[in-house]
A and B are shown apart, each in its own frame.
Chain A
């Protein structure tokens, strides 16, 4: 069974500081996703990481993937209030499984002034 664990589950950030969210998964995976969810809203795709060593950046967010350690990180640089949301990582295996996502529990991020 593929398990995905995120930590921390809750993160209170100060504006202007840097933080990291960690995502560990239990078995070999072919793709790792990061999503953002605002309260009462749907999931917004942030990044798809497809290979070992992959790094993607968008604005203040940077995601990386280490498939050997089965670990992905989401790094937030100089946090701002607009980044307050819940962040989910998810993994998927192969194509024969229909690209089914296995999600972590999410990290609730609050950015304080």
Chain B
């Protein structure tokens, strides 16, 4: 039981490049989330998926797209990366009230 896994752990992009952050959970959770964390700040929600087949925007969705591929996987795509997207990205999943977080992806956009 690996919990919530994320790949990659680190990534450096140039402005304008695209990439997809992968997230998977093996706990059979319905809801999954993507957050970003900037220095000295808490988490801000980018997108979430309350159940397989549905996605909704969070607080800071601009510049991102998501795909809930199946119940296990929820990916986050940056189509044209910008320096403002330099951040640490956390994926989470939840069953009822408990949220479980992945280890994070540290992304730098130059």
The dominant DSSP class at the B interface is strand
A103 near B42: Cβ-Cβ < 8 Å: yes
A26 to B101, CA, bound (A): 25
> Residues of A contacting B31 with CB < 8 Å?
98-99
A42 near B43: Cβ-Cβ < 8 Å: no
B99 near A4: Cβ-Cβ < 8 Å: no
Interface size class of A (residues with CB under 8 A): 20 to 34
> Residues of B contacting A99 with CB < 8 Å?
31, 94, 96-97, 99
* Given A42-B90, A98-B31, A48 and B41 contact (CB-CB distance below 8 Å): no
B41 near A98: Cβ-Cβ < 8 Å: no
A70-107 residues at the B interface, CB under 8 angstroms: 88, 90, 92, 98-101, 103-106
A56 to B44, CA, bound (A): 26
Chain A residues within CB distance 8 Å of chain B:
4, 31, 33, 41-43, 45, 48, 50, 88, 90, 92, 98-101, 103-106
